[in-house]
Structure 1
Amino acid sequence: MSRTPDLIVVNAAVFTGDPAGNTAEAFAVTDGEFAAVGSSADITRLAGPETTVVDADGRMVMPGICDVHTHLGLGGALVAWDLQIAPHYGLDEICAAVAARAAELEPGEWIAGGVIGSTALERLADVDALARLDEASAGHPVVIKDDTQHNRWVNSAALQAMGVTAASPDPEGGTYVRDEAGRLTGVLWEQASRVAEEAFAASIENPEARHRVTFATAARVCNEVGITTACDAATMEPALRTFAALEAEGELTLRVVASTVARPLLAEPGITGKELLAVSERFGSELLHVGFVKLFLDGVPMTRTAAMLDPYLPHGCSSHGPSSGECLYDLDGLVDELEEAVRAGRGVKIHAAGDASTRLALDAIAVIRRRHGSGPVFHIAHPLFVDPSDVRRFAELGIVADASPYLWYPSIIQDSMAACVPARTIEKTYPLADLLASGANVSAGTDWPAGAPMPHPWTGIETVITREAPGGSEETINPAQRLTLHEALISFTRRPAEALGLGERVGSIEAGKSADFLVLSQNLFDVEVRRIHETKVLATYLRGSQVHAAHA
């Protein structure tokens, strides 16, 4: 060390997350970077009169969480602005919540909310349910997201604002769900949701101010649960501008890796594809990295829009689309899209929720590897269903398995999938241990706010180990794929940092890396594994500065 540290942390149980598996008692921070890691005695000797000393009192300290897959705009809006609706709500509870919000608003203001259960949408696809929503909303347009963020339920006022009537053709890649008599029900599948979101966005008087609150809220929420680096999995131009503005003013408390969107997005209107790619070239800094292009190959299994190798169950879910779902690209089209991203120097994050779409992604990436070698970075999200014959291909092709394991629980998503997907396929959910054993990079994220209204990596860490509900359960999901605690922690820290191209900067507590670290309420190696979800983050540091402190 060439100068006195600004900060030292001593008397800690430090999980460094480094490749050697080292532990430590203390570390020093200088100019926002870890300067030394070692014993409390050695680190204490480095301190000067101006050094801030943090005594961890024996608590566990670890690297900041790197969330490989989240949606900061959607999550921030859900917390900052949206009407809160629980996924288990039925029609009566939804209407009561809408009526209460309507009573607070000025005439014409929209009611935006979330989230409702995706399987509940089938029960709500009824003109009588729409009439109930119309009555509750008292003339206010309503748009409510489902737990997958892929679908919406709107009322008649919203349909009118969208310019949609019973005679309107379905948009490409989406459906205005109608009853047997051809009457609109207000339920919107996939790209039909984008029409609703465009109408809602047009109603916002000051979008810049709203974006600022949205993304600042998202960063705060992430800091509270220990996330210091987040890959925004579908980034639009307003997000780029807002993150850059927050950083310029010293108010961005999160390292963000952006993924520009290749095709029009369900939830957020705006420019996409080559136009957005060109705009994004203007952005890039210490806290804002523009590293990826986001592609969607399919939808989600809960609405039979994920592309599966085996047919969906014939009953218990929507009949939208073919019996096995469908891919939004063919092989040649996908290869062309990947080529465009590679030429631009970007990695590619590919949404592939079904085993058929996952295979298509693997086939396309194999073509790119033959042309360009191992350089381009590819993530496949979400490896819910991977045919056993395809597992080894992740490692062979150098592909990151982008997993959001806490989607198992706590939510009704698992029950929703079980109503649509054959049990033999469900039993193979998330083959993460096999992927790791094959040599693949398994990186974890929250996919916030899909599945749950708040991000919570500690639930993900626990359930990826137990394959059970938080706190334990008699029911397990593919228990042969359990990870160890060490494997789980690395999948939430060092591996995603490497997957995002930031492995030299973040992901572990090592000299020379950014001082992003957490102080925890309990030592994860000392508590019973089914209590990991109870973990609280007492303090979060980004570049050596505290960005979150828990209330006493």
Structure 2
Amino acid sequence: MTADLVVTGGRIWTQDPRQPWAEALAVRDGVLVAVGTAAEIARLAGPDTTIRDVAGAMVMPGLVDGHVHLNLGGSQAAFELPLLPTDDLPTILGKVRRWAGDLDAGAWVVGGIVGSTVLDGLTDAGFLAQLDEAAGGRPVLLRDDSMHNRWVGSRTLEAMGVDADTPDPDGGHYVRDRAGRLTGVLHESAAAQAESAFARSIADPQARTAAAVRTAIEVLNGYGVTSAQEAATMLGPATALHALEEAGELNARVVLSAPVRPFLEDGIVGEELIERLAGLRGDLVRPDFVKIVLDGVPMTRTTALLSPYRCHHGEKPFRGELYWTLDELVAQLNRCAELGLGAKLHATGDASVRLVLDAAEVLRRKTGSDIRLQIAHTEFVHPDDVARFGELAVVADLSPYIWYPGVLQDSIAAQVEQDLVDSSWPVRDLVDAHALVAAGSDWPCAAPTPDPWTGLETLVTRRNPDERFPGTLNPGQALTVAEAIAAFTTNPAEAMGLGGVTGRLAPGYAADFLVLDRILFDIDPGDIHATAVEQTYFAGRLVHERKPSRS
């Protein structure tokens, strides 16, 4: 059989335990037909075969992002005011002022990421006045690094129908100062109301969503990502992905996760959404999961913990609240099993993680169901529960971009007892307990890009590559480089139901692979974050090529 494409002359890391390294690979019709020595693969080349000599470069499987928000991330990249989580308040206000000055009449100022440490300090209505002034009276919506909270201006509050006397919504909070005045900070479901108000202002929401999703895929390809799990998929983004696939223009495999209850974006949820997404299924777009949110985020004390939060202002000990009971969760997972769907479960606290494991145990024991279950953001896990991940075949869906010392961790440490922070993200223990550990970016949460190389480095070093944030976080939980690569390739592919399709370079697998500018195993792990992807191939097609740097 003659190959369409031969890649040779490199060091190929296959992620195939039977043959970890190879010299060359051959592709036909988007599928790998052979991986082996240069001599073996050369025999598959014909007169029409494209030969790519990578001149000693490292080749590896395309990366798999197990947790990403394509519409939010793509919208941020394509349309919105870029803010860094390290920006202080004067910098944010300055960027808002400049951005607002370039907008058309009536346009909103929308952007992110506002660091949690900044949001924590917006405790007075005077900050709302500063935001209004910077925006020139325009409606403003700024997202935080958790994507659970927002900072909005007075015009936005008006569009939401919210004033100083409006009671808090269920599952949310309009933050007020000591005098009862609104600060513009919104928590949880209150943030969803702001997003709905902004959505109503968009003249052609489907066109915007289509552009956002297309941009998100291009960004992911640029970082070497060829497959992803959309972590909370609404109908608009799913429709856009389906349209791209129908047009032959979707350069990634995307697994969808349908929220079963209202979350942070407007639109239908639950069984109606599940049914609509099922009609969009294709070879690349796979609506195979639901999304279940068990709690919130520790920065706003909405994470459910087994031990109390730090107390403030004489408050009684508080552990957060669970959004589901055990019976409710078991019933939902049973319904998932009936529908043949997996579940991605947002659980950021050790109490919510335990609830998921308890429900998984009931599901496995009573029904024998083997549906895929993922716990997203396994930040805090009680030691007694670590082994249960492997025993119950529950995936640890991690976002290593979040845990390294930095702005987000500073805000978390202000709310959560230090011993819990010090024991967070127990990745080494999970791997040793035979849990499937899968990494994802959670873009656009925490970081302005879905850069996987930063996250991969952090799994190994437990340090922030940014020297402004010294120290390590729970360093005994570090992984090896090979284990970290697995967390970004084979593991999330398996967790998403794509384990037989992508994530490794072996005959019969999709020809999703990367050419890198360095050999990851030969460099200081502290330099992994600087890795650049020279080329990204998806199904044997070149979908990204790095532009030459200007000298």
| Length-normalised TM-score, structure 2 | 0.97
In the alignment, residue 466 of structure 1 is paired with which amino acid?
Answer: T
Please give the residue correspondences for 1:74-153 in structure 2 after superposition, counting only pairs within 5 Å: 74-153=72-151
Please give the residue correspondences for 1:218-229 in structure 2 after superposition, counting only pairs within 5 Å: 218-229=216-227
In the alignment, residue 263 of structure 1 is paired with which amino acid?
Answer: R
Query: Structure 1 residue 240 and structure 2 residue 235: aligned?
Result: no
The residue aligned with 1:521 is: 517
* Residue range with higher mean Cα deviation, 511-520 or 278-287: 278-287
Question: Are the equivalent residues in 2 in contact too, given 1:410–1:470 (CA < 8 A)?
Answer: no
Question: Are the equivalent residues in 1 in contact too, given 2:139–2:153 (CA < 8 A)?
Answer: yes
* Residue range with higher mean Cα deviation, 368-377 or 194-203: 368-377
The residue aligned with 1:491 is: 487
* 1:443-474 C-alpha deviation (Å, 9 max, x unpaired): 11111111100011111111101111227886
Query: Structure 1 residue 296 and structure 2 residue 286: aligned?
Result: no
Query: Structure 1 residue 341 and structure 2 residue 336: aligned?
Result: yes
In percent, how many aligned pairs have the same letter?
Answer: 50
* 1:164-217 C-alpha deviation (Å, 9 max, x unpaired): 111211111000111122211111011100100000000000111111110011
- Of the three residues 158, 162, 165, the one matched with 1:164 is 162
Distance in 2, matches of 1:103 and 1:257, equals 39
The residue aligned with 1:351 is: 346
* 1:23-65 C-alpha deviation (Å, 9 max, x unpaired): 1000100000000011111111210000000001010000000
- SS of the residue 1:402 aligns to: strand
Question: Are the equivalent residues in 2 in contact too, given 1:34–1:512 (CA < 8 A)?
Answer: yes
Distance in 2, matches of 1:71 and 1:322, equals 34
Query: Structure 1 residue 389 and structure 2 residue 384: aligned?
Result: yes
Distance in 2, matches of 1:340 and 1:169, equals 34
Query: Structure 1 residue 378 and structure 2 residue 373: aligned?
Result: yes
- SS of the residue 1:124 aligns to: coil
The residue aligned with 1:446 is: 441
Question: Are the equivalent residues in 1 in contact too, given 2:309–2:317 (CA < 8 A)?
Answer: no
Distance in 2, matches of 1:143 and 1:344, equals 37
Distance in 2, matches of 1:144 and 1:458, equals 27
Question: Are the equivalent residues in 2 in contact too, given 1:302–1:420 (CA < 8 A)?
Answer: yes
Question: Are the equivalent residues in 1 in contact too, given 2:173–2:187 (CA < 8 A)?
Answer: yes
The residue aligned with 2:302 is: 305
Distance in 1, matches of 2:114 and 2:374, equals 28
Please give the residue correspondences for 1:132-211 in structure 2 after superposition, counting only pairs within 5 Å: 132-211=130-209
Question: Are the equivalent residues in 1 in contact too, given 2:426–2:477 (CA < 8 A)?
Answer: yes
Distance in 1, matches of 2:438 and 2:367, equals 24
Distance in 1, matches of 2:118 and 2:317, equals 21
Distance in 1, matches of 2:405 and 2:26, equals 38
Pairwise CA distance, 1:411: 4.5
Residues 1:163 and 1:322: Cα distance change in structure 2 (over 3 Å): farther
Distance in 2, matches of 1:534 and 1:478, equals 23
* Residue range with higher mean Cα deviation, 108-117 or 347-356: 108-117
In the alignment, residue 153 of structure 2 is paired with which amino acid?
Answer: N
Query: Structure 1 residue 48 and structure 2 residue 42: aligned?
Result: no
Distance in 2, matches of 1:294 and 1:119, equals 28
Distance in 2, matches of 1:138 and 1:486, equals 51
In the alignment, residue 284 of structure 2 is paired with which amino acid?
Answer: L
Distance in 2, matches of 1:257 and 1:520, equals 26
* 1:119-170 C-alpha deviation (Å, 9 max, x unpaired): 3212113111111111121221001000000000111000000111112111
- Of the three residues 498, 505, 511, the one matched with 1:502 is 498
> Which ranges of structure 1 fall in alignment gaps of 5 or more residues?
none
Pairwise CA distance, 1:91: 2.7
Distance in 1, matches of 2:500 and 2:16, equals 11
In the alignment, residue 467 of structure 1 is paired with which amino acid?
Answer: R
The residue aligned with 2:16 is: 18
In the alignment, residue 498 of structure 1 is paired with which amino acid?
Answer: E
Aligned length in residues: 547
- Of the three residues 465, 473, 478, the one matched with 2:474 is 478
Query: Structure 1 residue 547 and structure 2 residue 520: aligned?
Result: no
Question: Are the equivalent residues in 1 in contact too, given 2:295–2:304 (CA < 8 A)?
Answer: yes
Structure 1 residue ranges (4+ consecutive) displaced by more than 4 angstroms after TM superposition: 471-474
Please give the residue correspondences for 1:226-305 in structure 2 after superposition, counting only pairs within 5 Å: 226-266=224-264, 268-305=265-302
Distance in 2, matches of 1:488 and 1:91, equals 35
* 1:88-131 C-alpha deviation (Å, 9 max, x unpaired): 22332222212212212233211111010123212113111111
Please give the residue correspondences for 1:356-367 in structure 2 after superposition, counting only pairs within 5 Å: 356-367=351-362
* 1:226-271 C-alpha deviation (Å, 9 max, x unpaired): 10000000000001110011111122111111001111121x2100
Question: Are the equivalent residues in 2 in contact too, given 1:358–1:386 (CA < 8 A)?
Answer: yes
- SS of the residue 1:235 aligns to: coil
Question: Are the equivalent residues in 2 in contact too, given 1:335–1:367 (CA < 8 A)?
Answer: yes
In the alignment, residue 104 of structure 2 is paired with which amino acid?
Answer: E
The residue aligned with 1:430 is: 425
Distance in 2, matches of 1:136 and 1:400, equals 44
* Residue range with higher mean Cα deviation, 28-37 or 79-88: 79-88
